[in-house]
Structure 1
């Protein structure tokens, strides 16, 4: 085998070993991937900005969205007015807006000046965000009335996409 081919195979082999090592070291693997369609949302408890606890069981009986966002995220800023309008126009759907990695006062100040779908909850240590293994902001899980994930969208949604996705949770 020629030297360039051996070097290339060595690089590929080391890359694969590095990926396996990273997967084992971080514990991130197939089991920890972002929940997929057809899976029930695992239990969690968040507290909204008014101090009320929010759990998946408390949202059963109606479709809902679990929307991860942040005030500094430009895609989130562009999407949020449409998401807030969607929530107002579809009161049968609960939109749970979860601010990721931010302090309460930052979120309170932002919500006071911008349209945001509510209820708004905080995930300051990114515990829930990490538990769902989300890989970007915004990320939205579309969940039916039984708590089953019907769609996962990473990245901003347009209003027409929101309206089309509504059919997946009804």
Structure 2
């Protein structure tokens, strides 16, 4: 093996071993502001505090998103299999009106918040949003147990729950 290939191999191993998903939310993500169904502003930290002691499945979605809507039956199945879990839906709809209509139209059961800052806000940037739906699992202590899944029936979600 020549010297360049050896260096590339060492770098690949080093960087792949250190590429680890976060287990806690950043200060910026925790301070990002969302909107409740009642129209009140709430920080992500306050959302987590309101559900402290519960395992959380976070679903980042939008009612205009074909994959999100198509995945809702899988979410509903997950909810049937794990009714003890708290389900938090963070919406990337374009307007709050569209968000509320989407919840009603698709009969989405859970805790709903509108992502006022959108894809590139502090929360979206922290989670590296590049696709929706996006699922995360947070344990009862507030630790991120699953940072990224794009299917509600992902085996990693089921194994953690």
* Separation of aligned partners in 2, 1:109 and 1:76: 15
Gaps of 5+ in 2: 1-19
Q: Are residues 1:73 and 2:51 paired?
A: no
Picking from 118, 128, 139, the partner of 1:133 is: 128
Deviations 1:94-138 (A, max 9, x none): 111101152110011111111224211101331222332222111
Determine whether 1:46 maps to 2:34: yes
Match for residue 147 of structure 1 among 132, 142, 147: 142
Spell out structure 1 runs of 4+ moving beyond 6 A: none
In structure 2, the CA distance between the partners of 1:36 and 1:76, relative to structure 1 (3 Å rule), is: same
Question: What secondary structure does 2:100 align onto?
Answer: helix
The answer to whether the aligner puts 1:105 opposite 2:97 as a matched pair is yes
- Given the alignment of the two structures, is residue 121 of structure 1 paired with residue 116 of structure 2, yes or no? no
Match of 2:75 in 1: 83
Helix, strand or coil: the match of 1:55? helix
Superposition TM-score, scaled by structure 2 size:
0.68
State the TM-score, normalized to the length of structure 1: 0.65
Partner SS, residue 145 of structure 2: strand
The answer to whether the Cα contact below 8 Å between 2:59 and 2:136 also exists between their aligned partners in 1 is yes
Q: Identify unmatched segments of 5+ residues in structure 1.
A: 1-34
- Residues 47, 95 of structure 1: alpha-carbon distance in 2 compared, 3 angstrom cutoff: same
Q: 2:7 maps to what in 1? A: none
Aligned residue pairs total 132
| Cα pair distance change 1:166/1:61, threshold 3 Å | farther
* Cα RMSD for the two superposed structures: 2.6
